[in-house]
Structure 1
Amino acid sequence: MAKVAVVLSGCGVYDGAEINEAVLTLLSLEQQGASYQCFAPDREQMHVINHLTGEPVAGESRNVLVEAARIARGNIKPLTDARVADFDALVVPGGFGAAKNLCDFAVAGAQMTVQADFLALARDFHQAGKPIGLICIAPVMSAAICGEGSRCTIGNEAEVAAAIEAMGGEHLECPVSEARVDTEKKLVTTPAYMLAGSVSEAYAGISDCVKEVLALS
């Protein structure tokens, strides 16, 4: 049975991990015979968003790990506890947390930096020849993790695709129901809610992403 490290970036589409994507990732892993352990950075998230209004909440701070524990039902560990030797693959659901708490793409665009602990872990997976699945907006980190020429997708959003190319990646267009595989880099990506209009649409691509990741492990 393959064992997969799943990195979450908080809880909630606007400031953390996209909840549907995270749950669908865990469901797909179970359905396809893999086990998993969730991790998240033990740090303050970039900001807190009121998900009813979409507006930032002044004066409030939340911890990424504590928030992500909501999704994982408490079964989660600090990112610094993750060891590549213990796992066969790495999967990262999307949501703005991936672009705010795992990196700063949401504010820096193509000049982004990736959070140091996450970058070190993800690069260790890549250097160990273990597959990585990046979902939704998370593929903007592809070149930073897997090197120049990394082939990935966020669907067909032109501005984000251009930023991926500017950072040294190669963007591939992809429908919501599919994933794209860079066999050389052992990198699998899917658009999920970059394109999805429903939970079932997101599930189709995420399930395909998980299938391809497990096939490479």
Structure 2
Amino acid sequence: MKKTLKKLPESIKLVLFDLDDTLYDEADFVKSGLGAVAEYLAVSHGLDQSAAYKAMIKHFKKQGRGKIFNQTLSEFKINPTAVLIKKLVSLYRRHRPEIKVYQGVRPLLERLKSSGLKLALVTDTNWRVQARKLNALGIAKYFDRIIFTDKLNLKKPDLKIYRQIFKKFMVRPLEVLCVGDDPTCDFIGARTAGCQTIRIRQGRLMDLRLGPAREADYAVKSIKELSDFLRREKILCE
């Protein structure tokens, strides 16, 4: 773990969370979505559901999500037409996710609330997909405000996001603590805006290092370590 917080613990009034790979494992959402697509392909094209799912997981692990459906369809000698790909993408995005929060997330959110702090969540990408994730995870109730940047036509690390948050919560930048996992976008905007930042090294980007300019002020390895850190800094009440 990196250094302790520079500012007095009582200066923190708002904790701002990212969603994917910060509060739950995004790989579980991918697997859930691919399972829904495999089920559809079994009915629509007669594929073996298990074989189709395993093929998609294989391509996901090798090359990420970009061309999973094209590669899988070609592997099973099915023409990956634009219409079919669009259908599969829609199924993937609209399926009911089978996901759960990381261990310790609910107690942490509850303790932050009971400590008198405001909580907000900021998440990028398709807002409808993100809303379904939140519904499946059952944690929306903990947040005083949920910001789907897609609805604002913005994307982290745009400073406009943070300025809107400061205005909405009537807080100063130094009173905001931002928690995320992705050094490509979660910290540089928040730090530039004047917030303090903590990176949780978990999920698919846990080993990604982009240099000091894009790193958080502090780093932990898990939700439990984050909770312990906040308790030691007296941001969490005992």
Class of the TM-score when normalised by the shorter of the 2 chains: 0.3 to 0.5
Which has the larger Rg? 2
The structure carrying a bigger helix percent of its residues is: 2
Q: Which has the higher contact order (CA 8 A, sep 6+)?
A: 2
TM-score, normalised on structure 2?
0.38
The structure carrying a bigger strand percent of its residues is: 1
